[in-house]
Amino acid sequence: MTHLEILVVYYSRHGSTLELARAVADGVDSVSGCQSRLRTVPAVSANHEATEAAVPDSGPPYAEPQDLKECDGLIIGSPTRFGNMAAAMKYFVDGTLNSWIAGDLVGKPAAVFTSTGSLHGGQESTLLSMMLPLLHHGMLLVGLPYSEADLAATRSGGTPYGASHWAGSDGKQPVSPEELRLAHALGRRVAAISQKLAGRQAS
């Protein structure tokens, strides 16, 4: 049986969003019959043009249009910038016009995650901002239900709109166990729903 692939695309400046992305990917991989495809996006310059090399020096490769076409679900993550997604992620999303025209993502499950420097620094508005283009793509949005006990108990990140992390003003606050479990749960949830949409039984 062919594995369903869930594309996890992130932008990370100080490493916190990357750590969440890995937890999300682990959640995807915990579902039998599903596997994650971890990708990043390059930074952009002040004039919003991509400035990085075509291939990153280390870590996952950059997301390509073919990744969107081939995936069975999509989860995107970005740090917060003034209550919105970072420019690098916005640049990537704005470049998905051809995928939108082709309908590559229509009917596929999607989810979002973020990291902020302050506890009330715009986590939920950032998550909502990332949902808007996914709705335009015809995707089915997946959040975190309160059946996840950590959602009601967390003293750091974690929202019903998606996984999140409070990184602190210096970006060095460790990702908490609750935040990691919720990120893992988000990945697992998208994978399980992708299986149901494909007519398979999640395990």
Give the pLDDT of residue 200.
74
pLDDT tens digits along 119-133: 788 899 999 999 999
pLDDT tens digits along 171-199: 788 999 999 999 999 999 999 999 999 98
Give the pLDDT of residue 33.
95
| Angstrom distance (rounded) from CA 124 to CA 15 | 20
| Residue 26 to residues 4, 34, 37, 188, 190, Cα–Cα distance (Å) | 14, 11, 11, 8, 12
Which residue ranges in the chain fall short of pLDDT 50?
none
- Run of H or E residues at 56: none
The backbone torsions φ and ψ at residue 57, rounded to the nearest 5 degrees and listed phi first, read -65, -35
Q: Which candidate, 161, 164, 125, places its Cα nearest to that of 144?
A: 161
Q: Which domains does the chain have, with CATH numbers?
A: 4-197 (3.40.50.360)
